[in-house]
Amino acid sequence: MEEQKIISAETERDASGNLTITIAGRLDYETVPAIWKQCLAALKTTTHQVTLNAEKIDYCDSAGFAFLDLLREKYENNFNLEKLSPSLQQLRQALRNQINCGEPHMRQIKKIPLTNIKIFIVHIQKNIYDNITFLGMVAYQSMQSLKNLKGLRWRDFGMALEDVGPKALPIIVLCGLLIGIISTFQSAAPMGRFGAQIYIINLVGLGLVREMGPLITAILLAGRTASSFAAEIGTMKINQEIDALITMGLSPIKFLAIPRILATAMMTPILNIFLILSGLIGCAIVMKSLGFNYYIYLHQLDVALRLKDFIGGTVKAFFFGLVIASIGCMRGLKTKIGPSAVGYSTTQAVVSSLIMIIIVDGIFAYIYYTLGI
């Protein structure tokens, strides 16, 4: 049976204003909060001597002793603790022997604005340097792997192919279909005002093949694949698996990053094709509902699209895949210690991938414009 928690506190004030508190029963985690409130209320108006009669306290734990110590601290010389039983005095002494009184030393972190700016700049510099180093190592190791295909970890490569490709296919097809349907519907009204609804096919077809297809595929993979790579490799880093690879004399980039990067670069153009096809199907469905049969649709598409549009989009998708996987792996390998580190790396992987996709897309837009593609 559990011991009963009985506690009572009586306060008595003498003629000269001195206060005597008599506590009876157990002074522990459960009873201290109530006693605390009661005593604080009684002590609010007291500036005189405070005496705590502890004769009837039959048990005291850390909370009880903390209560007594805080009272002593608050009233200093005006506080008297009387008649604490020898066994409790002994326990109190035992607790005190274990601890040093006084404030613990805390780290002093000086925050000077200029120092912070300097740290920030150094951090950015280091980040850029690390990223360039990493990309250089990836490029070197990729070339080595392509030269010596036997050295590539084919099993990991196959697993990465499956993870990046077939497992992502449903969401790619669904998004493609919806984008095809939505963009066709969005174009129908404005184009209809000019009697140019037939050109929706040109608009959506070209848009999907040249820009929307690779971009949407890349954005989906940034959310799905880059984060997955960063989390997976980051967890390995936390579990010291990366350290184990290094101490075994193995390159983490070659073992972990290269199979994933090559698989993603290879799979992204294929997923891009699926997204474009499903988008075009979505467009065809809406066009049919607007009164254009499939023959007209296919003929118009044939007129609108050129092979170089398709090649341009595919090449772009390949580079998007390369960037997404590289960033995912790099963020994973750069994971720091602590439980939030993997989450941070994952977020960083997605954010960096999205930014890099836009930058790479801009570069390709300029190159294609210059080349007349």
Partner 1 sequence: MPIDAIIRVQHLSAQYDDLLVLHDISFDVSPGEIFMVVGGSGIGKTTLLNHMIGLLHPSAGHVFIAGDDIITANDIERTRILKKIGVMYQNGALFGSMNLLENVALPLEELTKLPPQAIQRIARSKLEMVGLSDFCDYMPAEISGGMRKRAAIARAMVLDPKILFLDEPSSGLDPITSAQLDLLIQNLSKMLGITFFIVSHDLSSINAIADRVIMLHEGKIIASGKPETLRQDCDSVLVRKFFKREA
CA dihedral 59→64→68→69, nearest 10 degrees, is: 130
86, 104, 195, 249: which one binds partner 1 (CB under 8 A): 104
User: Smallest distance from the beta carbon of 254 to partner 1, in angstroms?
Assistant: 28
CB of 339 to partner 1, least distance (A): 4
Helix (H, G, I), strand (E, B) or coil at 153: coil
Per CB under 8 A, does 245 bind partner 1?
A: no
Q: Residue 229 interacts with partner 1 (CB under 8 A)?
A: no
Note whether 1 binds partner 1 by CB under 8 A. Answer: yes
Q: Which stretch binds partner 1 (CB under 8 A): 182-190, 197-205, 310-318, 333-341?
A: 333-341
In sequence order, which residues have a C-beta less than 8 Å from that of residue 369 and are 6 or more positions away? none
Q: Which residue has the tokens 């699926």?
A: 274
Beginning with the edge strand found earlier in the chain, give each strand of the sheet holding 19-27 in spatial order. Answer: 7-13, 19-27, 50-60, 79-82
Could you say whether residue 211 binds partner 1 (CB under 8 A)? no
- Of the CA atoms within 13 Å of residue 293, those in its CB half-sphere come to 1
Cα–Cα distance measured from residue 140 to residue 261, given in angstroms and rounded to the nearest whole number? 13
How would you class 264 by CB atoms within 10 Å of its CB: exposed for 0-12, middle for 13-18, buried for 19 or more?
buried
Minimum CB separation of residue 96 from partner 1 in Å reads 9
Instruction: Taking the CA atoms of 233, 236, 237 and 242 in sequence, report the sign of the dihedral they define.
Output: negative
| Shortest reach from residue 8's CB to partner 1, in Å | 18
Of 6, 14, 33, 133, the one binding partner 1 (CB under 8 A) is 33
Q: Is 340 in the site for partner 1 (CB under 8 A)?
A: yes
Binding letters toward partner 1, positions 134-153, x by CB under 8 A: --------------------
Please choose, out of 10-18, 65-73, 297-305, 348-356, the segment that lies near partner 1 by the rule CB under 8 A.
Answer: 65-73
On the 0-12 / 13-18 / 19+ scale of CB atoms within 10 A, 173 is: middle
Instruction: Pick the closer one to partner 1 by CB: 61 or 361.
Output: 61
Query: Torsions phi, psi of 6, nearest 5?
Result: -105, 130
Q: Considering the rule CB under 8 A, would residue 29 count as an interface residue with partner 1?
A: yes
Q: How far apart are CA 235 and CA 44, in angstroms?
A: 54
Q: Is 52 in the site for partner 1 (CB under 8 A)?
A: no
Please tell me whether residue 94 binds partner 1 under the rule CB under 8 A. Answer: yes
Question: Minimum distance from CB of 19 to partner 1 (Å)?
Answer: 20
DSSP state of 257: I
Q: How far apart are CA 42 and CA 46, in angstroms?
A: 8
Is 56:25 a contact under the CB 8 Å cutoff?
Answer: yes
Q: How far is the CB of 106 from partner 1 (least distance, A)?
A: 5
Smallest gap from Cβ 26 to partner 1, in A, equals 12
What is d(CA 327, CA 305) in angstroms, rounded to the nearest whole number?
33
Q: Judged by CB under 8 A, does residue 344 bind partner 1?
A: no
Q: Which of 6, 41, 95, 244 binds partner 1 (CB under 8 A)?
A: 95
Nearest distance from residue 303's CB to partner 1, in Å?
A: 59
Give min distance, CB of 275 to partner 1, in A: 39
DSSP state of 373: -
Which range touches partner 1 (CB under 8 A), out of 102-110, 118-126, 160-168, 198-206?
102-110
Q: Which of 18, 20, 36, 156 binds partner 1 (CB under 8 A)?
A: 36
Using CB under 8 A, count the residues that bind partner 1.
30
Question: Beta strand 50-60 with 7-13: parallel, antiparallel or unpaired?
Answer: unpaired
* Smaller CB separation from partner 1, 223 or 343: 343
Residue owning tokens 């613990």: 104
Helices 213-221 and 307-333, packing angle to 10 deg: 20
Q: Which residues are near partner 1 by CB under 8 A? A: 1-2, 28-30, 32-33, 36, 61-63, 66-67, 69-70, 91, 94-95, 97-100, 104-107, 337-340
